[in-house]
Amino acid sequence: MSATVRRRTRARELALQFLYTLELRGLEAMEEWKPFIQHHTYRNPDKKGRTEIAEYSKALIEGVQEHLHELNTWIERIASNWRLERIAHVDRNILRIAIFELLFIPDVPFKVVINEAIDVAKRYSTAQSGSFVNGILDRARLIMHEQREQGVEHPEPPVKEPSLELPETRDEKSSMMPPPSPPTPQPRARLPKTAPEEN
């Protein structure tokens, strides 16, 4: 695994944690992204690595926020038998990040995006989350590919899909715990505590 791939993996994890916090605490938490990233990368002796992680995390966080409605539409129309609020906080943010990458960051191969999302879901969410995320993202990839083959520069969310059978995921089964700034206590999902970056 190259250094760039490792850094982007770390950036996705940090973006997920921060987006999770934003969803619980609201947009006022957005101003905390820089100290949050610094806290988790300051032990990394590689200045270039720290910079790449911070920049990619920032791109994911800001991109998801800017295109949130579009990303949510993709998720809701593919998983048409699921309301967005029924999808675990962790899983829907994993999906938002991955769909944003598929749509807006063409230099990352779709297989990398999907495999990374599945790995993160298995690691940080429920036993069913890997299959759930894979089902949504594989369908999104096919739809995007079909539209791009037809000359569509920016793929549009599909017409509402027929019901797609996907395993249910629930926040209360998630092992995730929040990042350093504790969110409000009402949701039960917790993000796994991550140590500051060391290499």
What is the model's pTM?
Answer: 0.79
> Which two three-digit tokens encode residue 187?
């949701």
Cα 44 from chain centre: 23
pLDDT for 131-146, tens place per residue? Answer: 999 999 999 999 999 9
What percent of the chain has pLDDT above 70?
Answer: 78
43 inside domain: yes
Domain of 133, in residue numbers? 3-173
190 inside domain: no
Mapping DSSP onto H, E and C, the string for 78-124 reads HCCCCCHHHCCHHHHHHHHHHHHHHHHCCCCCHHHHHHHHHHHHHHH
Domain count, the chain: 1
40 inside domain: yes
Beta strands in 87-127 (DSSP E): none
Average pLDDT, the chain: 82
CB atoms within 10 A of CB 8: 22
| CA–CA separation, 155 and 148 (whole Å) | 7
60 inside domain: yes
CATH number of the domain enclosing 114:
1.10.940.10
194 inside domain: no
180 inside domain: no
181 inside domain: no
pLDDT for 5-28, tens place per residue? Answer: 899 999 999 999 999 988 887 766
Cβ proximity of 121 and 133 under 8 Å = yes
